[in-house]
């Protein structure tokens, strides 16, 4: 028997048992982000430019091994809910190079003295496409939060190194 879920807006028509909602989201992240995106060397993301759509991206970096995607550690998890994943990656890159732009994660990357062209990125557009998503921006925010939560659960409650929240 499912109970009526209490939400911010009051009673919900969506019925989930305790903990079930989290399992649904985890399944979605596994199915659509982890299984359909792959590490791309940062200097090649322009060849895979997602363009003007919402989405999620994960930045990986390793201080000494820049050649092997499997060695990368996650240093930043971000999203573009406003509909322009390509612009967010562009802003991250410009801040990381010290050029400037509106991206705190990129600025922190630069402050570490790391080279952006040695980084890797995974990206997943969340708007439109075969999923038929009506609000890809909201989905991007949800997936970003889920990925950060999972990261914290696996790293003693710590955020990725460059994430502020």
Which pLDDT score, from 0 to 100, does residue 4 have?
Answer: 35
What's the domain count of the chain?
1
Whether 3 maps to a domain, the answer reads no
Whether 165 maps to a domain, the answer reads no
Please compute Rg for the chain using Cα positions. 17
- pLDDT tens-digit map of 137-161: 888 888 899 889 888 988 899 999 9
What is the 3-state secondary structure of 53-111?
CCEEEEEEECCCCCCCHHHCEEEEEEEECCCCHHHHHHHHHHHHCCCCCCCHHHHHHHH
- pLDDT tens-digit map of 94-104: 999 999 888 99
CA distance 98 to 86: 19
Q: What is the mean pLDDT of residues 109-131?
A: 85
pLDDT at residue 2 is higher than 50: no
Whether 103 maps to a domain, the answer reads yes
- pLDDT tens-digit map of 52-93: 888 899 999 988 777 777 777 899 999 998 868 999 999 999
Whether 106 maps to a domain, the answer reads yes
Q: Which residues of 126-161 are buried (b: 16+ CB within 10 A; e: fewer)?
A: bbeeeeebeebbebbbbbbebbbeebeeeeeeeebb
pTM of the full structure: 0.79
Provide the pLDDT confidence category of residue 28 given band limits of 50, 70 and 90. low
Whether 1 maps to a domain, the answer reads no
Whether 42 maps to a domain, the answer reads yes
Which pLDDT score, from 0 to 100, does residue 116 have?
Answer: 95
Domain that holds residue 69: 37-154
Whether 92 maps to a domain, the answer reads yes
Provide the pLDDT confidence category of residue 33 given band limits of 50, 70 and 90. low
């Amino acid at each position: 028997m499912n109970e009526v879920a209490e939400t911010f807006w009051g009673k919900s028509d969506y019925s989930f048992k305790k903990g079930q909602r989290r399992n649904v989201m985890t399944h979605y992240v596994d199915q659509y982000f982890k299984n359909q995106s792959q590490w791309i060397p940062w200097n090649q993301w322009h060849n895979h430019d997602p363009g003007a759509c919402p989405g999620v991206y994960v930045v990986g970096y390793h201080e000494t091994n820049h050649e092997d995607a499997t060695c990368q550690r996650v240093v930043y998890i971000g999203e573009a809910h406003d509909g322009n994943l390509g612009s967010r990656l562009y802003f991250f890159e410009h801040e990381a190079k010290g050029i400037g732009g509106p991206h705190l994660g990129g600025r922190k990357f630069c402050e570490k003295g790391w080279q952006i062209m040695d980084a890797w990125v995974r990206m997943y557009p969340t708007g439109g496409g075969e999923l038929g998503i009506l609000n890809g921006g909201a989905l991007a925010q949800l997936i970003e939060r889920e990925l950060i939560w999972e990261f914290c659960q696996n790293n003693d409650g710590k955020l990725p190194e460059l994430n502020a929240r």
